[in-house]
Amino acid sequence: MSNEFNEIPELNVGDTVTGTIVKVEEKQVLVDIGYKTEGIVPISELSSLHVELPSDVVSEGDTITLQVKKVTDDEVVLSKKAVDAEKAWADLQEKFDNKEVFETVVKEVVKGGLVVDVGVRGFIPASLVETYYVEDFSDYNGKTLEVIVEELDSSQNRVILSHRAVVEREAEANKKNLLESLEEGQVIEGTVQRLTSFGAFVDIGGIDGLVHISQLAHHHVEKASDVVSEGDKIKVEILSVDRDSERISLSHKATLPGPWTNIGEKVAQGDVLEGTVKRLVSFGAFVELFPGVEGLVHISQIANRHIGTPQEVLEVDQKVNVKVLDVNEEEERISLSIKELEQQQQQEEVKNYEKDDDHSGFQLGDVIGDQLDKYK
């Protein structure tokens, strides 16, 4: 003959049981585990984290697995936290061994970092949250973060997690993919990161390339800051990629219209312009008319007299007026003359002199004429 008490399981501390929640109270939860009395889960045994109300964690009708903490004739005390922790430590160990990336929700912002629930209490130190400095972590409360297990010690209940490592890992993967995809001649947009005495470093999507100062503009650049500023979005052309050393050479100059482009719209034959003597050579002088645009004054066009060398008349950085003799945009050549301007000036001076001379000549003639009349 069967005795109904034989069907009641024997419970021992440490046993794992499954039950259904029948009542959620303010400080505890009652669970039907098929025992002669309902099991009690105190609020402190619901989670490894601080819990305000049991209803925040469980609801009536939920089926949950619990560990027996205490058994008396009158009550059975159970723990959800203990089961979760045991499972969590095994799970975390596996994640730690495999360097697995997984998601977790920030439960609390505390001094020094973030507290998360990973079955047990996990901690993300402030220095392991982001790759950059964060002033205020209050926005992180309730946020889901991807993390990896950085440190694990079950005997010390120590679980250190890192979101920063995930970000760095992704950045490294992106950098590798980017390096593989880059090709010489490609034109892409980048952001100026920092300026140096020799050029500008530009972020082209997770990796920095160098625009040497000579590649910033078509004209001579003294300081990179004369052309670009940190934070500027600029177009750059890839000159070379060294995948082993992760060095990328870029050119901003190559993406800009050349100084000779449409030069015919700026300069025409017969124009008189002011320029700066840039170089003196045996056959003449190169005069800069616009940034990056130089014209040649042939030695025969420098002075209105024979000279042996351009240095006899001109010096570097001297400002001079020149007349345009010819413009060839295709060959990027402009012929200039200083002599023609001198000749024009002389002709005008002679004309002015002749005018004055003619005027005084009539007066002189009149006077002499009067005198001559006396002798007729």
To which residue do tokens 């060959």 refer? 331
Tokens of 43: 């609020």
pLDDT at 371 over 90: no
**pLDDT, position 255:** 92
Domain annotation covers residue 90: no
Structure tokens that stand for 196 in this block:
């140096």
The closest alpha carbon to 338, from 354, 365, 318, belongs to 318
Give, for 352, the enclosing helix (H) or strand (E). helix 339-374
Residue 365 half-sphere exposure toward CB, CA atoms < 13 A: 6
189-210 pLDDT per residue, tens = 999 999 999 999 999 988 999 9
Please give the Cα distance from 150 to 160 (Å, whole number). 5
| Domain limits for position 164 | 99-168
If asked whether residues 267 and 337 sit together in one domain, one would say yes
Assess if residue 360 is contained within a domain. no
Work out the number of other CB atoms within 10 angstroms of the CB of residue 255. Answer: 14
On whether both 272 and 321 belong to a single domain, the answer is yes
251 and 275 in a single domain? The answer is no
Q: Report strand pairing: 199-203 vs 208-212.
A: antiparallel
Structure confidence at residue 81 (pLDDT): 87
Whether pLDDT at 375 is above 50: no
Please say which residue of 222, 255, 288 terminates a domain. Answer: 255
Q: Cα-Cα-Cα-Cα dihedral of 336, 338, 341, 347, to 10°?
A: -130
Beta carbons of 235 and 189 less than 8 angstroms apart: yes
Assigned token pair, 348:
């005008």
Last residue of a domain, one of 114, 141, 168: 168
What whole-number distance in Å separates Cα of residue 111 and Cα of residue 115?
10
pLDDT, average across residues 235-252: 93
Tell me what the mean pLDDT of segment 243-248 comes to: 89
In a domain, 350, yes or no: no
Whether the pLDDT of residue 73 is over 50: the answer is yes
Tell how far CA 312 is from the center of its chain. 52
Domain boundary (114, 134, 168) is at 168
At 38, the pLDDT band (50, 70, 90 cuts) reads confident
Q: Residue 366 above 90 pLDDT?
A: no
Q: What is the pLDDT of residue 358?
A: 56
**What is the tally of structural domains in the chain?**
4
**Do 284 and 335 belong together in one domain?**
yes
In-domain check, residue 93? no
- Per-residue pLDDT reduced to its tens digit, 137-160: 999 999 999 999 999 998 898 999
- What count of other Cβ atoms lies within 10 Å of the Cβ of residue 225? 11
Looking at the structure, do residues 43 and 105 belong to the same domain, yes or no? no
Residues 97, 89 contacting (CB under 8 angstroms): no
User: Scanning the structure block, which residue is given the tokens 């003294």?
Assistant: 222
Q: What is the CATH number of the domain that holds 48?
A: 2.40.50.140
Same domain, 62 and 122: no
pLDDT at 369 over 80: no
- Residue 352 belongs to a domain: no
- Kindly state whether residue 301 falls inside one of the protein's structural domains: yes
In the structure encoding, which two tokens stand for residue 295, read together?
């014209």
Question: What pLDDT score was predicted for residue 218?
Answer: 84
In percent, how much of the chain has pLDDT > 70?
Answer: 91
Residue 7 has pLDDT above 90, yes or no: no
First-to-last C-alpha distance (Å) of the chain: 182
Domain-located, residue 13: yes
Dump pLDDT digits (tens) for 265-322. Answer: 889 999 999 999 999 999 999 999 988 899 999 999 999 889 999 999 999 999 999 9
Whether the pTM exceeds 0.75: the reply is no
Task: Judge if 19 and 70 occupy the same domain.
Answer: yes
The percent of residues above 90 in pLDDT, for the chain, comes to: 57
Q: 146: which strand partners?
A: 103
Name the DSSP letter for residue 225.
Answer: G
- How confident is the prediction for the chain on average, in pLDDT? 88
What per-residue confidence (pLDDT) applies to 6? 46
Residue 74 lies in a domain: yes
86's CB contacts (< 8 A; 6+ apart) are 67
pLDDT level of residue 174 (50, 70, 90 thresholds): confident
Question: Is residue 163 pLDDT above 90, yes or no?
Answer: yes
Q: Do 285 and 330 belong to one domain?
A: yes
Q: Report the pLDDT value the prediction gives residue 353, as an integer from 0 to 100.
A: 74
